[in-house]
Structure 1
Amino acid sequence: MVTLPVIKFFKDIDKHDTPLVGGKGANLGEMAKAGFPVPNGFAITINAYDAFLAENEIAKKIYEILSVTDVNDPIQLGDVSAKIQKMVVNGKFPDDVSQAIIASYKKLSGVFKKALVAVRSSATAEDSGDTSFAGQQASFLNVQGDANLLVNVRECWASLFTPRSIFYRVENKIKHESVKISVIVMKMVQSEVSGVMFSIDPVKNDKERILIESVWGLGEMIVQGSVVPDNYVVQKGTFAILSKEISDQSIQLTKEGGKTIEREVPQKLRDKQKITDGEIVELAKYADKLQKHYYFPQDCEWAKEKGKLYIVQTRPITTISAVDRSEAKAVKTQKGMGFVKTTEIPIVTGAAASPGLGTGPVKILKRPKEIGKVQKGDVLVAPMTSPDYVPAMKKAAAIVTDEGGQTSHAAIVSRELGIPCVVGTHDGTSKLKEGSIVTVDGALGQVFVGAKTVKQEAAIKLKEKIVKTKTATKIYVNLAEPERAQEIAKQYVDGVGLLRAEFMIANIGIHPKQAIADKKQDIFIDKLADDLTTFCKAFYPRPVTYRATDFKTNEYRSLKGGATWEPVEPNPMLGFRGAFRYVSSPEVFNLELAAIKRVREKYDNLHLMIPFVRSPEELAKVRRLVATEGLFEKSSFKFWMMVEIPVNVIQIEDFIKVGIDGVSIGSNDLTMLMQGTDRDNSEVAQEFNERSPAVLWALKRVITKCNAAGVTSSICGQAPSTYEDLVKKLVRWGITSLSINPDSINRVRGVVAEAEKEI
């Protein structure tokens, strides 16, 4: 008996269905429900996969074989993979599974039609926020007919056991049995143009820019890196196009006669921009909306057919933290090999794909079978990479490819691994010589011939000296993800000035009122306390200031049960949020307070900050709620308030009198509300200016009044991470601390040190 459902159409799927339809399927359903332009389709659930394995009695055999496989032996891994895939491909469908698939295909196709569809794998561990399964399982384009569909479904299931998939799971300590596979069947978009886009710039870790790439024809070539795509960079907020790099594309992937083939791009189109400026902006807005919908930067695939744009996939960007690690890794690589003096003129140039410096002997790979040539510390050079190259990429000091763009396989994997990478060089494999020592600058997209010298040692020591410079002004960091706590705590930083609650609450996954209704409030408290402990333990005894939840109603509604408890508001930014919510629903706020109290029993470096406080009276009510939990009984506890509404600035003395230990200025919201603008609205975003005279007046007033009252002052918006001139002003006015993005710690501390010397 097959467990139901076997099939789910996109309209019936949302992000909570990942265990049933995999990451890709859940995201497609979620996007379709949210109104994004997604082609119609359905998911063949993991119930069908389980039934197939049971019908053929092969599950136990597969996992027994894998349990004794040495994934570091390429020959053994290849043999095992081939054996398992053959077992799957030759298996028989349970009748009710095949009938359900064919019936759904007919429903998707319409009467008397057999639609062309894309058949794509969707693993249950795929497209998660911390691992990237991109490109590891099979996809098939332009599939038509019942028999062909069933063949390709089996091929998708079998692709869960390719050498690269097996290797990746073992390397990431993911149990084979825990990963199952759904198959997505969606109407084929016959792409005239297709591409990918990132809702942030993943190379520079720039959260204010959107990166879009495009190619003629179907999109597989862009992921494979077999062509150099157009590259467009768009400013968030204003959606101004900052730069365009147009590639000369000679081949494309198209559908002809039911088959997917390569053919030449017409001569008149080869050097033309692939999409219009208007379409670039339209895509950028989709990317921005997707990030806001998922509360996390997104890696999206898109396609254009007959003038209409479609979003065909989205997943979290898995490489953000790796960008921060790559520079440190590059320095370590240099120390291990001796310092390298590079020639002044690069021998090879391309697109900057993953930042950092890497030095080593060149190893040129023309095909995946040659990956055994690469030893630890080599510079891997190839025409392009595919998932088959991953074992070698993990050993490399740097990676260089002839083809591909900033969203190609080589670029994505390099960023995840924290390895410097340059792509789209066109001539890397011909200009670089086997065995020669080179230095790869992944931030500039350049490759130099290198020779040993000690000259750079001083530069690196100088950099270390800057990192360790002490400043009277504290340098705190803004954080949200528990997974990054250990990594960031190792940096020279004075604590966490803004620990955002929203990411942790979203990971718990259930609306707090729903948790209470389901009598699961203890589970909610346990999970929140565990995450808070992760931060406090990593930074102890440095302070960790937790900003209580500031979900708006539209954001809270996305949590499980949220639609039951949250009103629909015309303007959530000015609605039921912040301190007003705590006073109105103290039972919810008490869950957070209970978690804080539990953590403070062991780690007294945890403090509380209240967001979006509309009046001193409201702050006093919140303070009484906190007092009821007994948090003020220990003098080590600090009670902070966000300054992000004009009334906070105007009545700052009255707020201080309520009894606060510190304030942190949220420059993003404060600027919008001071100027009456919305940085996320392209029509008015150009008016958003954190350094306008009015905002500067507000910042100076708050800092001055806090200093007079002996209250700590800080700032935690984007501004201090971006504008060095503003940092210097804040220091001159006497701000106590700055809380900044992790990638700005070293730079901002250096600016603060300079500013303090000038006082």
Structure 2
Amino acid sequence: MYGTKADNLIKLRDAGIRVPGFTVVRFEEVVDTDRLEGSDVRSAIKREWEKKLGLSPSKVYAVRSSCNLEDGDASSFAGQFDTFLNVKEKDVKEKVISCIESLYKDNVKSYMRKKGIDESGVKMNVIVQEMVEADKAGVLFTANPCGLLNENVVVIGRGSCEGVVSDRTETTSYYYNKTDKVYYYEGREDLLGEKELEELALISEKAMELFGHYMDMEFAYKKGELFLLQARPITTLKGDSPLILDNSNIVESYPGISLPLTISFVDLVYSGVFKGVSRRVLKNDKELGKHEDVFKNMVGHANGRVYYKISNWYTVLKFLPFNKKIIPVWQEML
């Protein structure tokens, strides 16, 4: 209704999840569309529209875009529109107008042309949200964007979330296995306790139920209280070509976490063995060369654990004579 950003905030709030207070300013509330000519927004601004906001002079605000096509499957508009943080009450009006104006910037027009988007169907609504003076903040992914669906990833740093997102703050990354309820972290400082990680895991579950897909959510902790700042879909996860990793059998040789030297050794050995066997079977180096990428990826690794890349094993097994009989036997063995 208002754009993905605003609609998702409303869903979170209505589901009883703590979000900072916010107001959605509709495009039509600010701009008189009958007077709007081209991109000259300021000549079509309505009078006294800002009185409806009911802001407090003792607070500071974030002013964010919520374009009706933003964060979509086909067009994310990532980094295209203006965002303003720590805005004083007296400056909010100007920043809302500036946010709307960013819809007509050259980079946005170029992006829409590239994506084949009709400019006439695009509208800019704006979110005015109370800023949280965070002790620590970060981003919660309800699935690992690299493709591990049963793993939450949390990237967190001290201070505001903006420092984490813009990579200006030193961060710690946590990897939480949703199946086993275990985790590890990478970074100099352990910023989250087990209780906080469990709280984030619970929020991840609620978000999955609420939105029906994997989410990327910004959050902040203030005096021990968790606030969700915004939520959007993880656009890098596509289900059309899933990668199947399986540790059946190989887990006996490489249990637990393997270090990079071990992983590089495993990659080399499995590649060499299966390429050698296939050379003997095929007796055709030209055909063998077509599958070089398969041989290099007989095993995979995620977060230090070693797995078989099952789809590539099927490719190699099909080289063998009587493969229709061999494959069921191999499957039963696994």
Shift of 1:313: 0.8
Shift of 1:151: 0.5
Cα pair distance change 1:723/1:229, threshold 3 Å: closer
Show the counterpart of 2:249. Answer: none
Moved more, 22-31 or 285-294: 285-294
Cα pair distance change 1:221/1:463, threshold 3 Å: same
DSSP-derived class of the 2:72 partner: coil
Query: How many Å separate the matches in 1 of 2:29 and 2:313?
Result: 53
Show the counterpart of 1:126. Answer: 70
What's the TM-score once normalised by structure 1's chain length? 0.33
Query: How many Å separate the matches in 1 of 2:112 and 2:186?
Result: 36
Query: How many Å separate the matches in 2 of 1:238 and 1:756?
Result: 30
Show the counterpart of 1:309. Answer: 226
Cα pair distance change 1:133/1:228, threshold 3 Å: farther
Query: How many Å separate the matches in 2 of 1:150 and 1:223?
Result: 25
Task: Tell me, yes or no, if the aligned pair for 2:31 and 2:45 is still in contact at 8 Å.
Answer: no
Shift of 1:322: 9.2
DSSP-derived class of the 1:320 partner: coil
Show the counterpart of 2:148. Answer: 206
1:166 to 104, 109, 119: 109
Alignment of 1:139-288 (within 5 A): 139-146=83-90, 148-203=91-146, 205-241=147-183, 243-246=184-187, 271-288=188-205
Alignment of 1:201-600 (within 5 A): 201-203=144-146, 205-241=147-183, 243-246=184-187, 271-321=188-238, 461-463=291-293
Cα pair distance change 1:279/1:91, threshold 3 Å: farther
Shift of 1:291: 1.4
Show CA shifts across 1:309-343 (max 9, x none): 111111111111299599xxxxxxxxxxxxxxxxx
DSSP-derived class of the 2:12 partner: helix
Query: How many Å separate the matches in 2 of 1:316 and 1:116?
Result: 27
Alignment of 1:626-665 (within 5 A): none
Cα pair distance change 1:308/1:750, threshold 3 Å: farther
Show the counterpart of 2:24. Answer: 43
Shift of 1:300: 0.8
1:30 to 1, 4, 11: 11
Task: Tell me, yes or no, if the aligned pair for 1:189 and 1:305 is still in contact at 8 Å.
Answer: yes
What's the TM-score once normalised by structure 2's chain length? 0.72
1:93 to 20, 23, 45: 45
Q: Between the two proteins, what is the percent identity of the paired residues? A: 25
Amino acid at match of 1:93: I
Task: Tell me, yes or no, if the aligned pair for 1:192 and 1:218 is still in contact at 8 Å.
Answer: yes
DSSP-derived class of the 1:321 partner: coil
Shift of 1:751: 7.3
* Unmatched 5+ stretches in structure 1: 1-16, 63-86, 247-270, 327-344, 347-454, 468-721, 725-742
Query: How many Å separate the matches in 2 of 1:105 and 1:197?
Result: 31
Amino acid at match of 2:140: M
2:79 corresponds to 1:138? no
Query: How many Å separate the matches in 2 of 1:28 and 1:126?
Result: 14
Task: Tell me, yes or no, if the aligned pair for 1:129 and 1:317 is still in contact at 8 Å.
Answer: no
Query: How many Å separate the matches in 2 of 1:140 and 1:46?
Result: 17
Show CA shifts across 1:246-267 (max 9, x none): 1xxxxxxxxxxxxxxxxxxxxx
Query: How many Å separate the matches in 1 of 2:236 and 2:80?
Result: 17
DSSP-derived class of the 1:105 partner: coil
Task: Tell me, yes or no, if the aligned pair for 1:22 and 1:126 is still in contact at 8 Å.
Answer: yes
Query: How many Å separate the matches in 1 of 2:207 and 2:25?
Result: 25
Task: Tell me, yes or no, if the aligned pair for 1:197 and 1:210 is still in contact at 8 Å.
Answer: yes
Task: Tell me, yes or no, if the aligned pair for 2:208 and 2:214 is still in contact at 8 Å.
Answer: yes
Cα pair distance change 1:91/1:458, threshold 3 Å: farther
DSSP-derived class of the 1:122 partner: strand
Shift of 1:218: 1.4
Show the counterpart of 2:60. Answer: 116
Structure having the higher helix fraction is: 1
Cα pair distance change 1:465/1:160, threshold 3 Å: same
Task: Tell me, yes or no, if the aligned pair for 1:116 and 1:187 is still in contact at 8 Å.
Answer: yes
Query: How many Å separate the matches in 2 of 1:209 and 1:463?
Result: 27
Query: How many Å separate the matches in 2 of 1:277 and 1:44?
Result: 38
* Unmatched 5+ stretches in structure 2: 244-259, 262-284, 298-305
Cα pair distance change 1:278/1:297, threshold 3 Å: same
Amino acid at match of 1:298: M
Query: How many Å separate the matches in 2 of 1:182 and 1:744?
Result: 46
Query: How many Å separate the matches in 2 of 1:459 and 1:320?
Result: 30
2:317 corresponds to 1:756? no
Cα pair distance change 1:228/1:747, threshold 3 Å: farther
Cα pair distance change 1:201/1:751, threshold 3 Å: farther
Higher relative CO (CA 8 A, sep ≥ 6), structure 1 or 2? 2
DSSP-derived class of the 2:101 partner: helix
Amino acid at match of 2:51: I
Query: How many Å separate the matches in 1 of 2:60 and 2:159?
Result: 16
Cα pair distance change 1:747/1:200, threshold 3 Å: farther
2:53 corresponds to 1:104? yes
Task: Tell me, yes or no, if the aligned pair for 1:156 and 1:183 is still in contact at 8 Å.
Answer: yes
Query: How many Å separate the matches in 2 of 1:229 and 1:114?
Result: 30
Task: Tell me, yes or no, if the aligned pair for 2:31 and 2:46 is still in contact at 8 Å.
Answer: no
Task: Tell me, yes or no, if the aligned pair for 1:49 and 1:157 is still in contact at 8 Å.
Answer: no
Show CA shifts across 1:727-748 (max 9, x none): xxxxxxxxxxxxxxxx964456
The structure number with the bigger radius of gyration is 1
Show the counterpart of 1:514. Answer: none
Shift of 1:160: 1.4
Show CA shifts across 1:572-595 (max 9, x none): xxxxxxxxxxxxxxxxxxxxxxxx
Show CA shifts across 1:24-51 (max 9, x none): 1111001100111111111001322542
Task: Tell me, yes or no, if the aligned pair for 2:30 and 2:46 is still in contact at 8 Å.
Answer: no
Query: How many Å separate the matches in 2 of 1:185 and 1:466?
Result: 50
Shift of 1:212: 0.8
Shift of 1:188: 1.0
